[in-house]
Structure 1
Amino acid sequence: MQANITLRGMTWSDPRGYDPLVAAVTAFQKKRPDVSIQWDKRSLQEFESTPVQDLAANYDLLVIDHPHVGTIVKQNCLIPMGDIVEDDVLLDLASQSVGRSFESYHYQGHQWALPLDAAAQVQAYRPDRLDTPVRSWTDVVTLAEDGKVIWPLRPPHVLMAFFTLMGNIGAPCGVQSGNFAETRSAHQVLNAMQALYDAVDPTCSLMDPIAALDALADSPKLALSPLTYLYKGYANIGYRPNRIAFSDIPVLGKSGPLGSALGGTGIAVSANTAHPKLCGAFSQWVAGGHIQSTLYAQSNGQPGHAAAWNDASVNEPVGDAYFKTRMTHEAAWLRPRHDGYMGFQEEGSEIFADILAGKATKASGLSALKLRFDSSFNPFDRDAT
């Protein structure tokens, strides 16, 4: 049967975000030969910043980042998954989520996306240069002073590092107005970050995780990236000149690898689609345990379903990256998701970069961050900033 329904999907351009969805189209057509799905892609930077409501006007299926959820709800541009997916399916996916991945797309009583991909800030290192992962932030700084550390600090990742370390010392940033960060703890984290910032190459400020991992894989000297989002491809043999291993984050606090800023992606359905039930059927199928553990993982995907993370055959090609970062992912911290947060993430990252670069004092920078965070909850204050 020739396809007579064509859906359009938008994802992001890394192989992990694009390849498994393209592969899934071919497999899904065996179930629904009347359906074709055309996937477009955008860069990581565009993925982190492009308003979802702009994309929903032109696409049926969207791969999204959970911090956009508050704005999504405000703009009424997605269909709640509960309207097109059965409750028992949603309950099953919730029970099999890696950490808070499923929860991250639940907002104001509705589920707005299904987790496709789980990620948090983890540790990346060269196993040919380090026998074991680094355990403490002090050891990270020592390696950096010897020129062996790369650290992605391009906004918003500089802010994500702050979030992670605040969570790691047991003082996670707040998600409500007036409760951004406890001052003494924030200074402790800033001092720890400053020590590392002063020891790494200044070009780190221009790097996102992909750029940092490329540098780590290619470098004749680098050995470690202490906080970078998991990109399982770098653990595959042959993906880059040298294989990278992933492990739980090095700790600044005393309670283990908790507090990492959650990332990952989810699949959502546009409110403008003419085929909502069909989009829901594809979404639950590609997010389900069987596909995630087989086709999705085998096609460069980084699954978000626990069945895949628990599977030895999924772990083996990536050097057990899922096993070795599981604690970090299960104990990850969920960012704010209110309407207005994305503006804060963009501007707050720039403020934070200025602090580390010495363009603002820690006290004045933290004060500016707190004011900008509080204003993100108030549209009148946001318009004035």
Structure 2
Amino acid sequence: MRGLTWDHPRGYAPLDELTRLDQAGRNPYGEVPEPIEWDRQPLEGFESEPIAKLCETYDVLVIDHPGLGAATDALVPMEELLEPDEMSGPRFVGRTCESYRLDGRQWALPLDAATQVAAARPGVMVPGTWPEVAEFARGTRMALCLGGPHAFLMFCALCSGDFLDPAEGARALELMAELLALADPEVSLRNPIGVLDALAAGGPEFCPLVYGYLTYPLSFSDAPAWPGRVPGSVLGGTGLAVSRRRIGAVRDAVRAHLRRLVSEPVQTKLFPASGGQPAARAAWASATTVSTMEAAWIRPRFPGYITLQDRSSALIREGLLARVPARDLLGDLHKEWRRQ
């Protein structure tokens, strides 16, 4: 069988570890009828490559939930492979299970859980509210995360998903402009991996909102909140989906892989030990960012959303760099969405 994941240790290391045998020649996490040969794609492909196109080549795919709307005809719903209790939302942290549910069917199982949180070098005292972040940024080296789709995702987090509301949208863009003027201009245009690499290498000390990767030697904490509100964040992570391309020939093997990958021993032991970021609720019980994870917003999943997300992010990023007034930039963004 062929599988596709993303090209970062968090995406492939746990899958590689599952292929290793103990001294007795057995897999300690259970045997499967047929192994998966995992290929890798870069983060940018994971965020934007059409899932349906990838299903022409792969049997099992690690996917991002916003791409589901245009892909369901190419996927096997989990109801055809697993029992209801194996797809139970309470098994998984936050709304991760819900993010892969569309039109009454479960199209993937949560494999990896993530959302935007605050990241800082150890010892840096992270502010808890956005007004405090704006003040804190005046006295510390800071970066934002605006590369790829992440300018739009930061904007959505600041609006708690209600980005079409004029007051919420304007406030968010005004804050982003204020923070960008105080931030490292080069690092701020990177994707999450690039931003975290810079923080870990001794560059900026703090990023108030970036997708957390627990493999980095950094301190992660709940995302900042507007006063009186819960932390605003946009759900990320990955799901495990199955292609229809030859399901009749690999159904039993695929079912065995799904069950093993989301099993509690794999999620709570193998994933953390090998640099993964599990989706099982049991693995998040003591996490410092669980409040943000529980409150995270699920992005739209309609056909065409990925392209619209990319266009919106470029519009915001270019507008911020050109210092377009927040109201004008918001008007341009609303026009983009009305064309959808």
TM-score by length of 2: 0.93
Deviation at 1:34, TM superposition (A): 4.4
Deviation at 1:185, TM superposition (A): 1.5
Q: Partner residue of 1:4?
A: none
What one-letter code is carried by the residue in structure 2 that aligns with 1:145?
R
* Cα distance in structure 2, aligned partners of 1:305 and 1:157: 25
What one-letter code is carried by the residue in structure 1 that aligns with 2:84?
D
Deviates more, 1:146-155 or 1:104-113: 146-155
What one-letter code is carried by the residue in structure 2 that aligns with 1:182?
D
Q: Partner residue of 1:327?
A: 291
Deviation at 1:33, TM superposition (A): 5.9
Matched, 1:194 2:177: yes
* Cα distance in structure 2, aligned partners of 1:285 and 1:272: 22
Deviation at 1:189, TM superposition (A): 1.1
Matched, 1:9 2:3: yes
Deviation at 1:150, TM superposition (A): 1.5
Q: Trace 1:158-197 onto structure 2 (pairs within 5 A).
A: 158-167=151-160, 172-173=161-162, 181-197=164-180
Deviation at 1:205, TM superposition (A): 4.4
Contact 2:33–2:256 (CA<8 Å) still a contact in 1?
A: no
Matched, 1:25 2:19: yes
Q: Partner residue of 2:238?
A: 265
Q: Partner residue of 1:238?
A: none
Q: Partner residue of 2:93?
A: 98
What one-letter code is carried by the residue in structure 2 that aligns with 1:249?
A
* Cα distance in structure 1, aligned partners of 2:226 and 2:156: 12
Structure 2 spans left out of the alignment, 5+ residues:
none
Change (3 A) 1:206 1:193: closer
Matched, 1:249 2:242: no
Deviation at 1:24, TM superposition (A): 1.9
* Cα distance in structure 2, aligned partners of 1:276 and 1:370: 44
Deviations 1:143-171 (CA, angstroms, capped at 9, x unpaired): 3333411111112111111111111xxxx
Deviations 1:19-68 (CA, angstroms, capped at 9, x unpaired): 00111233696643642211111111111111111211111110000001
* Cα distance in structure 1, aligned partners of 2:96 and 2:205: 29
| Partner SS, residue 225 of structure 2 | coil
Deviation at 1:281, TM superposition (A): 2.3
Deviations 1:241-278 (CA, angstroms, capped at 9, x unpaired): xx311000122342232x31110000010111331332
Q: Trace 1:26-175 onto structure 2 (pairs within 5 A).
A: 26=20, 31-32=30-31, 34-73=33-72, 76-91=73-88, 94-128=89-123, 130=124, 132-167=125-160, 172-173=161-162
* Cα distance in structure 2, aligned partners of 1:63 and 1:297: 18
* Cα distance in structure 2, aligned partners of 1:248 and 1:60: 36
Change (3 A) 1:284 1:33: closer
| Partner SS, residue 102 of structure 1 | helix
Change (3 A) 1:33 1:196: closer
Q: Partner residue of 2:211?
A: 229
What one-letter code is carried by the residue in structure 2 that aligns with 1:369?
L
Q: Percent of counterpart pairs with the same letter?
A: 37
Deviates more, 1:294-303 or 1:12-21: 294-303
Deviation at 1:299, TM superposition (A): 1.4
* Cα distance in structure 2, aligned partners of 1:97 and 1:153: 29
Contact 2:143–2:183 (CA<8 Å) still a contact in 1?
A: yes
* Cα distance in structure 1, aligned partners of 2:185 and 2:206: 16
| Partner SS, residue 233 of structure 2 | coil
Matched, 1:208 2:226: no
* Cα distance in structure 2, aligned partners of 1:70 and 1:305: 24
What one-letter code is carried by the residue in structure 1 that aligns with 2:250?
H
Matched, 1:278 2:278: no
Contact 1:29–1:36 (CA<8 Å) still a contact in 2?
A: no
Deviation at 1:196, TM superposition (A): 0.1
Deviates more, 1:40-49 or 1:245-254: 245-254
What one-letter code is carried by the residue in structure 2 that aligns with 1:352?
I
Deviation at 1:137, TM superposition (A): 1.9
* Cα distance in structure 2, aligned partners of 1:205 and 1:148: 11
Structure 1 spans left out of the alignment, 5+ residues:
1-6, 174-179, 235-242, 311-321, 377-385
Contact 2:141–2:184 (CA<8 Å) still a contact in 1?
A: no
Contact 2:127–2:136 (CA<8 Å) still a contact in 1?
A: no
Contact 2:188–2:195 (CA<8 Å) still a contact in 1?
A: no
* Cα distance in structure 2, aligned partners of 1:16 and 1:25: 16
